[in-house]
Amino acid sequence: MTTSRTARTRAATPLLVLLAAALLTAACAPAAPAAVIGSSPRGLEGGPALAADGRVVVGERRGNGALRVQAIDPRTRVITTVASLGPLADPKTFPELSLAGTGGIVTASLNRYGQSQNELAQPVPPLLAQRTATILPTFAQIASCGGGSALASIPTLDAAAGDSFIASVGEEGAGRSPVVRLRSAGATIAVPAVPGPAGTLEPQIFGLRATGPMVAWSESVRSASGPSTTTTIVVARGATGEVLLRGPKPFGAGLALGADGTVVTTADAVGCNLAVLSAALPAGRVQPLPPGLCATGLGSAIVGGRMVYRSGQGFAITDLQGNAHALDPEAREPSTKIAPIAFDGRTAYVVRSDCTADRLLAVDTYAVGPPPPPLTSSVEEFCPVKRSGSSRLRVRSDGRARFVLSCRDGCHGRLRIVQQRGRLARLVGKADYSVGPGRVVVKPKIAKFARALAGCKGGVRVIALSQPAGTDDYKQAGEGTGIRVSPYRLSSNSRCRRSGPKFTTPKEGPRP
């Protein structure tokens, strides 16, 4: 991660490189509403979260399934590695990291997924194992499940922590019961979900949140005879389990919890209302947001009666009466990346993806910016990747082919080389790349079967597809997905042999 303020068109620098120079740059830079305090060309995953000592905690992908968790002091820019996960032994599995922390204990949830056997019949990769742990101030495992057969397709093990307690749900794995467990220095308390009326299924618990002394979650009860579902919000004291609020969820997927027990929800899709609930107002009240500052419902954070939230392709802040303004446009996100928001009451820490890196920004929430544009486009449209040079390539003696790309605004991601047969495809090679504006040479190693096909008369026709940075082979859609760069024809000196693995079925074909 780099620590200097970086324009969108500058190439990203790897994490922990030139830290001394970055410290000097940060010390001399003038104050600004938004500042880059970290960046990664490979991609950020998990967090940002806020630790009790004010450090910002975020995860970074390292390739081949490797992850590491970094704690960054936003004042000094000192970066400390607090946890690491090495490359996965099985290349057909991938991890997914979530970090949570609002100024107290920081927790981590790690899910491990496998490869879908049939992506049409099983579009969601099977969940193989789950693990939760505290990261700061100390590392300690909370719970784990799985490791054998696949678990439920929807993650069930979750954890969040406040100032002096840890909340968890789903510790029993596949045989879980709907209970929230609260651990503090004194004892472990179980708070069960309230069953629904006759004719409903067992209640489900999701959306665990913890802030200061408070913990909140959602309970849903579904009718046994149809899709009708009732959702209830619960707020309790984390140390005692005393339930302070149990009321119907007005609307929305977004949920923010304040240290005083106030809960704010926003709309499922883009909506210009927010609902405020508390023990004094269990039914909630609906507050309109200003036009152009509607909430997307993709995450928010509340401190001291002020809430930071996503609005279109940027961020905004509002009080509980709906008085809102946009944040610095530097914090706009030209991508569909969804990451949590860390907020200390003045500074919001958010992730922005641009053409060269994922960047962690510190944004002054009192600085007023112009309204963000609507959420209508993605990073792929902002950062075009095109072929530069010949479409006829030769596989070298080391098994690699040389693909030359042109990136008008810079680019970082993964280049996947696939062979297609109608709607079917199979992977031929892959390589990560990162560059500022200009040209980049990507040298993926071509699979042995494809080198043999390339030795046949006429070679082998392949498609180059660009995918976002940090793409995992089985986390995204099938092998045929991505932004199509160009078709190529590969030739080689290998002995001709027409064979190879089966073609698989992607969820969607390559987009033009």
pLDDT digit string (tens) for 161-211? 998 999 999 876 655 668 999 999 878 999 999 988 888 888 888 889 999
Give dist(CA 229, CA 224) in Å, integer. Answer: 10
Helices first, then strands: H and E counts in the chain: 3, 37
Start-to-end CA span in the chain (Å): 33
Mean pLDDT in consecutive groups of 10 residues from the start of the chain, 512 residues:
38 32 33 80 88 94 84 94 80 82 93 63 68 92 74 74 91 71 89 87 89 93 82 93 90 82 78 86 87 82 92 88 91 66 94 86 92 60 82 94 90 87 86 85 93 94 82 47 84 92 62 36
311 CB-near residues (< 8 Å, 6+ apart): 292, 293, 294, 295, 296, 326, 371, 372
Q: Which of 288, 291, 294 is nearest to 314 (CA)?
A: 294
Give dist(CA 249, CA 230) in Å, integer. Answer: 8
In which residue are the tokens 């040479």 written? 441
DSSP conformational letter for 329: G
Q: Which of 161, 173, 171, 164 is nearest to 216 (CA)?
A: 161
Give the side-chain half-sphere CA count within 13 A for 347. Answer: 22
| Residue 260, token pair as written in the block | 């005083």
pLDDT digit string (tens) for 425-463? 888 998 888 888 889 999 999 999 999 999 999 999 999
Give dist(CA 325, CA 367) in Å, integer. Answer: 9
Domains in the chain: ranges and CATH: 383-491 (2.60.40)
30 φ/ψ angles, rounded to the nearest 5 degrees: -70, 160
Give dist(CA 14, CA 331) in Å, integer. Answer: 21
Give dist(CA 64, CA 471) in Å, integer. Answer: 10
| Residue 252, token pair as written in the block | 């929305």
Are 48 and 349 spatial neighbours (Cβ–Cβ below 8 Å)? yes
Q: Which 3-state string (H, E, C) describes 50-92?
A: EECCCCEEEEEEEECCEEEEEEECCCCCCEEEEEEECCCCCCC
